[in-house]
Structure 1
Amino acid sequence: MRNILVLIANRLATGMLTLWIVSLIIFLGVSALPGDIATEVLGQSASPETIVAFRTRLGLDLPLHERYFAWVSDILHGDFGISLANHRPIGELVFGRLSSTVDLAVLAAIMAVPLALGLGILAALYRNGAFDRAINLLTLTSVSFPEFFVAYVLILFLSVKAGLLPSLAGFSGGTVLGRIEGMVLPALTLTLVVVAHMMRMTRAALIGVLASPYIEMAKLKGVSPIGIVTRHALPNALGPIINVVVLNLAYLVVGVVVVEVVFVYPGLGQLMVDSVQKRDIPVVQACSLIFAATYIVLNLTADILATVTNPRLLHRR
């Protein structure tokens, strides 16, 4: 138990350090953008006095390090600032959109994880056969295309030609079923993108375990192939499988920007793109930091789970 607590403490410390470095990169990157924020927001016709007053209100007249520490201090106190575009608190904008992005990621995970694990188990059982080659070909094909291409292909066949699903993820119906119906195409796009990684890792991990001597002994005892996989191979291959599943869940949350833009899905990625177009820099910084924090947390979770499920990593000599 003590080893697990020490491991978690070390990973959390590493995550906090990484998040601080990422926040510094985000702030410096946004500050280095060409053009003047005040001129972009107020327009070219604004008077010099108005521009100076606007820059003072935003704190742009302060040195760079003072602005950074003030920004970090406000975030630590739960204040993300005020949006320049609509003058609303950024916390309200961001966390409302974040819940929509998480809903989309959860639906995609419900579709992708069982499918990937099932296909990986079947591909390992019938490895080097026709089924294994067909599944590998299909998954590699799906992952080779960018998200926007997969999204437009799904829109063409499932929305335009078949008329089964709406092409835009609008929630005008207001019902739970209407909301889910609008999320199916974006979630299916994400599923096709991430299922290949999880399936191939499941297959590789199971094949490595199936070559072990105790698996041969189980076969000699007459255990069925499904029993060998579920009772003997799968529990010993959980480490890398859990790792790749959680990392792909992180991608489902932070990699949805393109998918949300294609389907006009009202999530955090769409908010970030809209804020970039409007030069709403405080919202862009907040969205970037939340994406980074989410990825770091899920990455640390994957690392901890992979270590806990593998005693050889937990008790190193």
Structure 2
Amino acid sequence: MSGGAGPAQGGLAGLAPMLARRLASSAVTLVLVTLVIFALANLLPGDAAQEMLGQSATPEQVAALRHQMGLDRPAALRYVGWIAGLVHGDPGQSLVAGMPVREIIAERLPHSLMLAGLTTLVAVPLALIIGMGAAIHRGGWVDRALNIGTLSLVAIPEFLVATLGVLVFSVWLRWLPSIALVSAEATWGETLRSCALPILSLTVVVVAQMARMTRAAIVDQMDRPYVEMARLKGAGTARVVLRHILPNAIGPVVNAMALSLSYLLGGAIIVETIFNFPGLASLMVNAVTSRDMPLLQACAMIFCGAYLMLMLVADVVAIVANPRLRAQ
């Protein structure tokens, strides 16, 4: 018994060095990301002082407000101050709202997490079913129909999916509201009904790519010798796919899902804007419009951090679920 458990235990123990390397790599990546975000944010024309005072303001008024906001300090000093604040958990003060960025994000972040979580609960099982169904019936009419459907969905832009959803379910059928109103007083039923169209739009956007990657990963394993051996022993197709193929294909599948799900936090800008959803993506759009650099930079850092975390989780899940990777 102890001999059989040894490789698995050794493989799982080997996760610690891998996690340490990935965390160190993620930390370096985040440092580079801070430089890119700060540089791009400061390349935007105009600033918060000009946006707040408008075009009719005199240069003296703009200069005075810029000095009050600290926008006239050298870029290097502003970057160092921003990084020092991030290290201490303080992303700064909103230039427009005049309140801590942390408080503004704390109000919006739960909404984005809720939207991403509900979309994940719908999209992941649906993508697995579509991908496995297409792989099991590869070459047949089911596979061709699913491939055409998913390829068509990949080609449709987000704004068109959201607009068609509003046209069909809000204007024609009048089943769902076109504006996603989220409030603390609303019941779960009211919240789900209000968020149904954003969830549907995001599901359509992400499920097609996840399904195609799932199919490709499973098909890649279907001609391997271990699959043929399992079939010769009398295992059914469903058992072969679920018990033998899926654990070996879990790495590419989980990575594809992590890439698609990372979109739900940072890439849902168009969907949140169309449905007026009070999430981080729409908050970042408002920050760009008002040139609120501390708020813009904080939102961008959250999106990048979420992406890196999802990639790390995908790697860990792939290793834990795959016996061959655990042995390595």
With normalisation by structure 1, the TM-score equals 0.93
Instruction: Summarize deviations over 1:87-125 as a string: whole Å, max 9, x none.
Output: 222111112211101110111111100001011111111
1: CA distance, partners of 2:134 / 2:304: 34
Aligned residue among 262, 266, 285 for 1:254: 266
Match of 1:33 among 38, 44, 55: 44
1:77 to 2:88 alignment: yes
Partner of 2:315: 303
> Which residue, out of 62, 79, 84, partners 1:68?
79
Quote the Cα distance in structure 2 between the aligned partners of 1:280 and 1:42.
14
Query: Shift of residue 68 of structure 1?
Result: 0.3
State which drifts further: 123-132 or 48-57. 48-57
What letter is aligned with 2:14? Answer: N
Maintained 8 Å contact 2:162/2:197: yes
Query: Gaps (5+ residues) in structure 1?
Result: none
Does the CA contact (< 8 Å) of 2:124 and 2:257 recur in 1?
Answer: yes
* Match of residue 97 from structure 1: 108
> Which is worse superposed, 165-174 or 180-189?
165-174
Q: For 1:152 and 1:46, how far apart are their aligned partners in 2?
A: 38
Q: 1:161 to 1:210 in 2, by over 3 A?
A: same
Q: Does 1:161 align with 2:158?
A: no
Note the C-alpha offset of 1:38. Answer: 2.2
| Counterpart Cα distance in 1 of 2:153 and 2:326 | 36
Counterpart position of 1:212: 224
Q: What does residue 7 of structure 2 align with?
A: none
Distance 1:314 1:24, change over 3 A: farther
Deviation at 1:301, TM superposition (A): 2.2
- Helix, strand or coil at the partner of 1:264: coil
Say which of 32, 35, 47 aligns to 1:21: 32
Cα pair 1:247 1:302 within 8 Å, conserved = no
- Cα distance between partner residues in 2 of 1:272 and 1:93: 11
Matches within 5 A, 1:58-207: 58-171=69-182, 174-207=186-219
Distance 1:131 1:35, change over 3 A: same
Q: CA RMSD in A?
A: 1.9
In 2, distance between residues paired with 1:311 and 1:218? 17
Counterpart of 1:237 in 2: which secondary structure? Answer: helix
Distance in 2 between the 1:29 and 1:208 partners? 41
Instruction: Provide structure 2 residue ranges, at least 5 long, that are not aligned to the other structure.
Output: 1-11
The 8 Å contact of residues 176 and 193 in structure 2, kept in 1 or not, is answered as yes
Equivalent of 1:235 in 243, 247, 258: 247
Return the letter of the residue paired with 2:140.
G
- How many residue pairs were aligned? 316
Please name the residue that 1:284 is paired with.
296
State the Cα deviation string for residues 199-239 of structure 1 (Å, max 9, x = none).
11211221222212222222222221111111221122111
